[in-house]
Structure 1
Amino acid sequence: MKLYGSLTSPYVRKARILIQEKKVPCEFVVADAWAADSPIPALNPLGKVPVLALDNGKVLFDSPVIVEYLDALKTPALLPTSGEARWEMLRWQALADGMLDAVVIRLLESRRPAAQQSADNIRRQEEKIARSIEYAAQHLSIGAWLMSDRFTLADLVMAVALEYTDFRYPHDWRGRHARLGQWLAGIGTRPAFVETRPPG
């Protein structure tokens, strides 16, 4: 298998972390979806990363699909296949992905020429991020993990979302949510997180 993506995409990073956590044999191919010679549009009609090329010639795209496919390859599962725990896990994933989307939209808006930027749009995205962090802090368990008694997909996706916020929208959210910051510090020491941190 081959995973195509950039070094800075948090959506790609989710898959890279899972691959390392579960020791799934998979080659990582650095590919810029925006480059003129990019292989991405030919693999994914949406022109987005990550893309997972399977050994049978088929491809999967969109990070939730790729993450679930990779998780199913080896036990123990990080995402339950059924029951209440699955829906709770998917809620964490939806929260993390929505938070990532808001950080990305804010970043792209802030990179537009000053005269073309929408302050309202930037504020809306910052409000979404703040509410997401507040929600995560309110639903943080008393243990080391968000769910269960071990590392799961909930921990993976939420930690990626918070670290990407630090990377692209650095601000003092820890001042209001110290315990969430402490939880992230613990998750962030895992080798898969250290080795996949974006450059810069």
Structure 2
Amino acid sequence: MKLFGSYTSPYVRHCRIVLALQQQPYQFIMTDQQASGQHSPTYRVPFLQHNEQTFYDSASIVRYLREQAGQAFCQDAADYDLFCMVNTALDTTINLFLLERDGLTAEHSAYLQRQQQRIEAILALLNQRTWSLPEQPEQLSDGLLRLACYLSWAQFRQQIDILHYPNLQQFLLALNGQPWFANTHPALS
């Protein structure tokens, strides 16, 4: 099994965490933007090769890994909704981050302002919940794992101020204390 990606990608991190919790052996192949464009039609990471199959999206990779281990991907419709909502915030935050690197910011674009508002609305909604962790890390749902990877990445890249979202901050602090989560932090790469 070969996982192609970067250590800083929150999508790749989710896959790495699932593999680690399953104690699944795999080869990690560091892949930059140029290589991802040459090997993936999506021009992004992660992608996974295993037994003559290739998967080009983190959601399909996580689902495949879960199926291989006899586990559920997104335990129910509510968890899948959380997964999708976090993906929306994550995709939007990454796009704004990359556009800002190119000098395009929300202050000059009504469309980008709307994207920033989307992120803030999702975070505000998610902050209304009180988050708790299951006793065993293997019981953490994919919606919660995606949320944790997003929050950690967005804080690492200084794209959100987690202090504005105390319930999300407590959730992230609890996970940062878990070795299996902390050991995949993007700052460690």
Asked whether the two chains share a fold, i.e. TM above 0.5, the reply is yes
Deviation digits for residues 148-198 of structure 1 (CA, Å, limit 9, x no counterpart): xx42212211111111211223443423x3122111111222223212111
Whether 1:178 and 2:136 are equivalent positions in the alignment is no
Which residue of 47, 53, 61 maps to 1:51? 47
Q: Superposed, which structure 2 residues align to 1:2-151 within 5 Å? A: 2-34=2-34, 38=35, 40-54=36-50, 56-75=51-70, 77=71, 79=73, 85-113=75-103, 118-141=108-131, 143-144=132-133, 150-151=139-140
Whether 1:190 and 2:178 are equivalent positions in the alignment is yes
Residues of 2 paired with 1:153 and 1:91: CA distance? 11
Give the % identical residues.
Answer: 26
Partner letter of residue 158 of structure 1?
L
Aligned to 2:187, the other structure's residue is in SS state coil
Cα drift, residue 125 of structure 1: 2.5
Aligned to 1:29, the other structure's residue is in SS state strand
Corresponding residue number in structure 2 for 1:168: 157
Distance 1:62 1:118, change over 3 A: farther
Q: Which runs of no fewer than 5 residues in structure 2 stay unpaired?
A: none
The normalised TM-score by structure 2 is: 0.85
Work out the number of aligned pairs and report it: 185
Residues of 1 paired with 2:151 and 2:124: CA distance? 12
Residues of 1 paired with 2:12 and 2:42: CA distance? 15
Residues of 1 paired with 2:171 and 2:187: CA distance? 23
Aligned to 1:47, the other structure's residue is in SS state coil
Residues of 2 paired with 1:172 and 1:42: CA distance? 35
Deviation digits for residues 3-51 of structure 1 (CA, Å, limit 9, x no counterpart): 00112111111111111122112111101132xxx2x345322222111
Contact 2:162/2:168 (<8 A) preserved: no
Contact 1:106/1:121 (<8 A) preserved: no
Q: Which runs of no fewer than 5 residues in structure 1 stay unpaired?
A: none
Cα drift, residue 123 of structure 1: 2.4
Residues of 2 paired with 1:62 and 1:25: CA distance? 20
The normalised TM-score by structure 1 is: 0.81
Contact 1:50/1:63 (<8 A) preserved: yes
Distance 1:57 1:43, change over 3 A: farther
Aligned to 2:76, the other structure's residue is in SS state helix
Cα drift, residue 118 of structure 1: 3.7
- Give the structure with the larger helix fraction: 2
Which residue of 152, 155, 159 maps to 2:141? 152
Residues of 2 paired with 1:167 and 1:124: CA distance? 23
Segment drifting more, 117-126 vs 1-10:
117-126
